[in-house]
Amino acid sequence: MSTPPNPSKTAGHSAAKTAAEKSVATVAMGWLHTAKFLTTAPQLHFLPELNVPEIAFVGRSNAGKSTCINTLTQQKQLAFASKKPGRTQHINLFSLGKQGIMDAVLTDLPGYGYAAVPKQDKIRWQQVMANYLVSRENLMGIVLMCDPRHGMTELDEILLEVIRPRVEEGLKFLIVLTKSDKLTRAEATKVLSITKLQAGGGDVMLFSAPKRQGIEEVAQLLYQWAHPEGKKALPANAIAITEIEEEVPPEFPEN
């Protein structure tokens, strides 16, 4: 009697595994593609309280955050909505969820460190951001964009310090090294290992919009954050997506 082949050693199995992995990536990309503008606010206390997981994107101005959000959501203009007059220093929320049922939120926190911004505005914005990162109750993950040619800057380090207590309590954390197409393979390997040491237990991934590197990996990680233990989306308390009206006029200068 012949022994049945060990499935883990057959070519068929590895092909099937690849297909399974691909299907997870497809689900994650489909989920991110549902992103829609939800609301914008100048400060934490103007944001609606939400009972779905929220994932915040942060980073220095020009780090590639808008491009990364647009690439992940496969929408050309979504994050550039955050650069419209009246929203550049706002917290911008995008809903996610299939069939019009919101099961998570992406938050775009405007970039910091832009040299041309007056000092008072910088300080005010850092306070708004710190307040959001420390106090937003449904915040479950943070994605920090970093241009690997500049590495982690002082402001990035401060941000890490601010969120450290929450990361220790289980907040998810990912550093995305953007524009990796600008690096040689050796540079990419080096910056990846250095950043892993700085990430304090968080994940680190290389990302390039034009080379389409890291897109599915980041998408899958965010999907897993929002849907832990392979649980289906749609929590019992899921709410229907409608754009929330802007009640609060912008209070602060935009530049």
Single residue of 90, 136, 179, 227 touching ligand GDP by CB under 6 A: 179
**Tokens 């832009």, residue located:** 114
Stretch that binds ligand GDP, among 37-45, 156-164, 178-186, 242-250 (CB under 6 A): 178-186
Q: Does 148 bind ligand GDP (CB under 6 A)?
A: no
Q: Amino acid identity, residue 219?
A: A
Q: Does 74 bind ligand GDP (CB under 6 A)?
A: no
Contacting residues for 111 by C-beta, under 8 A, at least 6 apart: 59, 60, 61, 62, 63, 65
Stretch that binds ligand GDP, among 1-9, 26-34, 134-142, 176-184 (CB under 6 A): 176-184
Kindly state the smallest distance separating residue 213's Cβ from ligand GDP, in Å.
8
Q: Does 75 bind ligand GDP (CB under 6 A)?
A: no
Q: Does 66 bind ligand GDP (CB under 6 A)?
A: yes
What sign for the dihedral angle of Cα 106, 175, 252, 53? positive
Farthest-apart Cα atoms in the chain, separation: 81
Identify residues 206-235 at the interface with ligand GDP (CB under 6 A). Answer: 208-210
d(CA 123, CA 138): 25
Q: Does 62 bind ligand GDP (CB under 6 A)?
A: yes
Q: Does 254 bind ligand GDP (CB under 6 A)?
A: no
Identify residues 40-59 at the interface with ligand GDP (CB under 6 A). Answer: 59
DSSP E strands, the chain? 36-41, 54-59, 91-96, 101-102, 104-108, 139-146, 172-177, 203-206, 239-240
